[in-house]
Structure 1
Amino acid sequence: MQPGIPIQRNPALAGLACLRCGTAYGLDGPEPLTGCPRCRAEGYPASLVVRYDGGPWQPRPGARGMARYGERLPYLAYPSLGEGGTPLVDLPRLAAALGVARLWVKNEGQNPTGSHKDRLSPLVVARALELGYPAVIAASSGNQGVSLALYAAAAGLECEIATTPTMSASWRDALDQVGARVVTFTDPFDRWRYVARRVEEGACYPATNFIVPPVGSNPFGVDGYKTVAHEIVQATAGDEPPTVVVAPCSRGDLLWGLWRGFQEAREAGWLPELPRLVAAEPFPRLARVLAGADYRDHFPGRTRLISIGGSTVTYQAVRAVQDSRGRAVPVTEGEAAEARQQLARAGVYAECSSATVLAAALRLQDEGWLRAGDRVVLVVTSHGFKDGGEFVRSASR
């Protein structure tokens, strides 16, 4: 552990469990870094989730941001840059345009590095510090890499990012400024092979998946995404809570974190009814699985919405949508660019990949899936300054 870096494990932290088979894993001995060993051996990779002991809990008095919900996070103290506590913005004009009762945007672009990844990174870094790793590593197209690198730097750890040539200049510059080691691969799967090798060598602690078929990202980090749901519930307390929540989706880390967070809020008595979750994706992947395809297959497609790109699906994404009676909605680049402009004119400047949430909601309105009484939250995961202007202009044509 780095001197002067406050790390405090939550005493209620009990271990990990497979969300597919339920097998429990303790915190003593080697940590499973590729999901559930039992399910992987059976050929059905599945993510692990964090387990807690103890009964009812409440937000921590006096704590701010993500730390307010520390009683259900793996660490009570961790390297922080002020993450969480992002605004839930009421947009009545867009609600009227969608024909729903209420519409809010949960603006995750107001996190320290401009994306929701800032809820994952500090917990991954805390775990790496506790275990004595000298470095952390991630396969990332941008947001995750920048977030992890900055949190690692704040904690005195080295950081490696495996990426592709599609990473934007602004993200690459941020990684250069913070001193991260950036390794570029033309084949996206080569990134995962590189991460796997560095993890197997014991050189780095992983923040993201690195196996095929994939599982979710580091479970200690993904647990941080629950706080997005907790904040939504707390912000609408005394009001009518959301009935639909729409989030951008690649491999479903945020989607699963939201679902677990809403479940915890209901168990704590904060939430009378669980919302339906909608995954916005750039081409049919999860939608095909929900229609009957095997989640372990590959679903190739081309997109410049790189923050939610990729050809794979995870079990956690399938479970979150199925269990919540939700949907997966493919959105084109053009629809995303148009939705981005609509959000901007309503006062929210979003990355194009994030604007897919409004495009998905508009599609569901056309299909009649959204109801007049619905109360909808759109989770905007990153701010618009991260998009290249030429991409946005070309996507709009």
Structure 2
Amino acid sequence: MPITHKPFAGLNPRVTGFRCIRCGILLPVADYLEGCPACLDQNRPASLAVEYREFPASLDQLADWQVYSDHVTLGEGNTPLVSLEDLASETGIGSLHLKNEGANPTGSHKDRMSRFVVQRALEAGAPTVAAASSGNAGVSLAAYAAKAGLGCVVVTTSEMNPNWRRAIEMHGATLLATETPERRWQVLADRVRVGDWYPATNFSVPPVGSNPFGVDGYRSIAFEIFHELGTSACTDIIVPTSRADLLWGIARGYRDLQTAGLVEQPPRIHAVEPFGRISKVLAGQDYRGIFPGHSALTSIGGSTVTYQALDAIASCKGTAVVIEDEAAREDQKRLARCGFYLELSSAAALTGLRKLVAQGVITSDAAVVIVGTSNGFSEFQPFAHPIAMVG
């Protein structure tokens, strides 16, 4: 059931409600924290998307395309889109760009989501926001909550990277640890359902996407890429993916551009994963299943699939590609030698590109954008050798 808080006074006036991405039902504006209630009743969980009555004729005022035209901000967005000519030649494609989301204030794409979650929490009169997170989402939410003067709780595990832990605590948020990643969702669910916390992330099993107000923020990546490259200079976008908030947001952004008549055909949008989950569902398995696996790519780990991943891939004629940890480590080094130190899970986008080229999915005339979801400065790795000493 939806949870209705205070009125939506600051909402973009073009917003008419929330539409289910699976069954298509249109619902009034409210806080649907577990996705579409009709699909949930059928045990077919699916996310809801912000519905707009129309879109502007241009991207001159990007705020007019977003759920909140005015919101809490730390200066997120408008991240660099950098040409990687050497890597384009190395991978055998026409052109390659990196959308460097690590340049956001807290170092990841999550800032685009946190701004709208916190804005809605303020509007709703919710005193505390919360997330189940292993790192980037928790740091981002803690920062934006601090900016807004809200309380913040991040439910994690005892294995959390100490760099992320320090950042979250420095922002004044509370950390709670559970024995397993799955238990985080139950802790979050219990407190959300009694009204103690306003959630940024999913807590349902099987999962849906994160808070739909927040996921709407990822559409802006598509708008920025289109604004800078236009249509013909982008044929494929490659996105490191777990439960597909970012993947879906970019895909939806391009579909909205198409609806507005600004794009004739959106680029293909591909998901990169560390072990088969989405790819298995695309091959016929039930998206509600459990797909266990182990990987060092923790930011895109997890054993579940969301319906929004399938919707994003189908709507933009993409696919999912599985990559190996060691190949991602090599590409992390390769990108660093180009000047971009990305988190391992972010560098996986380049690894996915290589594999898609090898499979013939991406051809030599392609114009590709890889999304670097976060920088590598928060990574914690022990060093095998000491720093060289000088006299």
Mark yes or no: TM-score above 0.5. Answer: yes
Which deviates more from structure 2 when the two are superposed, residues 319-328 or residues 357-366? 319-328
- Preserved CA contact (<8 Å) 1:73 1:223: yes
Structure 1 CA distance for aligned equivalents of residues 113 and 14 of structure 2: 19
Structure 2 CA distance for aligned equivalents of residues 107 and 259 of structure 1: 18
Q: With structure 2 as the length reference, what TM-score do the two structures score? A: 0.93
Shift of 1:60: 4.4
Going from structure 1 to structure 2, the CA distance change for 1:127 and 1:85 (only over 3 Å counts) comes to same
Q: Is 2:366 the counterpart of 1:374?
A: yes
Q: 2:324 aligns with which of 328, 332, 339?
A: 332
- Preserved CA contact (<8 Å) 1:120 1:222: yes
Structure 2 CA distance for aligned equivalents of residues 59 and 324 of structure 1: 21
Deviations 1:120-173 (A, max 9, x none): 001000111111100101000100000001001100100000111231111000
Mapping for residues 158-173 of structure 1, pairs under 5 Å: 158-173=151-166
Mapping for residues 252-331 of structure 1, pairs under 5 Å: 252-331=244-323
- Preserved CA contact (<8 Å) 2:209 2:244: yes
Structure 2 CA distance for aligned equivalents of residues 107 and 17 of structure 1: 30
For residue 66 of structure 1, what is the aligned residue in structure 2?
Answer: none
Structure 2 counterpart of 1:44, which letter?
R
**SS of equivalent residue, structure 2 residue 98:** strand
Structure 2 CA distance for aligned equivalents of residues 25 and 323 of structure 1: 22
Q: Is 2:169 the counterpart of 1:176?
A: yes
Deviations 1:351-383 (A, max 9, x none): 000011000111112212211111000000000
Which deviates more from structure 2 when the two are superposed, residues 346-355 or residues 252-261? 346-355
Structure 1 CA distance for aligned equivalents of residues 80 and 384 of structure 2: 25
Q: 1:20 aligns with which of 8, 19, 22?
A: 22
Percent identical pairs in the alignment equals: 48
Structure 2 counterpart of 1:59, which letter?
L
Shift of 1:269: 3.1
Shift of 1:224: 0.4
- Preserved CA contact (<8 Å) 2:56 2:65: no
Structure 2 CA distance for aligned equivalents of residues 139 and 180 of structure 1: 13
Deviations 1:293-349 (A, max 9, x none): 100000000112111110000000011112222111111211111111111112221
Structure 1 counterpart of 2:70, which letter?
A
**SS of equivalent residue, structure 2 residue 110:** helix
For residue 137 of structure 1, what is the aligned residue in structure 2?
Answer: 130
Shift of 1:264: 1.4
- Preserved CA contact (<8 Å) 2:55 2:260: no
- Preserved CA contact (<8 Å) 1:135 1:205: yes
Deviations 1:82-122 (A, max 9, x none): 00000100011111111111100000000000000000001
For residue 208 of structure 1, what is the aligned residue in structure 2?
Answer: 201
Mapping for residues 1-397 of structure 1, pairs under 5 Å: 8-27=10-29, 31-61=31-61, 69-237=62-230, 240-390=232-382
Structure 1 CA distance for aligned equivalents of residues 266 and 58 of structure 2: 19
Deviations 1:147-202 (A, max 9, x none): 00100110010000011123111100011111111111121111000100110110
**SS of equivalent residue, structure 2 residue 358:** helix
- Preserved CA contact (<8 Å) 2:55 2:65: no
For residue 3 of structure 1, what is the aligned residue in structure 2?
Answer: none
Structure 2 CA distance for aligned equivalents of residues 131 and 155 of structure 1: 13
Q: With structure 1 as the length reference, what TM-score do the two structures score? A: 0.92
Structure 1 CA distance for aligned equivalents of residues 97 and 323 of structure 2: 20
**SS of equivalent residue, structure 1 residue 384:** coil
Structure 1 CA distance for aligned equivalents of residues 264 and 59 of structure 2: 18
Structure 2 counterpart of 1:13, which letter?
V
- Preserved CA contact (<8 Å) 1:233 1:270: no
Going from structure 1 to structure 2, the CA distance change for 1:165 and 1:305 (only over 3 Å counts) comes to farther
- Preserved CA contact (<8 Å) 1:340 1:349: yes
Shift of 1:389: 2.5
- Preserved CA contact (<8 Å) 2:59 2:223: no
Gaps of 5+ in 2: 1-8, 386-391
- Preserved CA contact (<8 Å) 1:100 1:375: yes
Shift of 1:9: 1.9
- Preserved CA contact (<8 Å) 1:281 1:308: yes
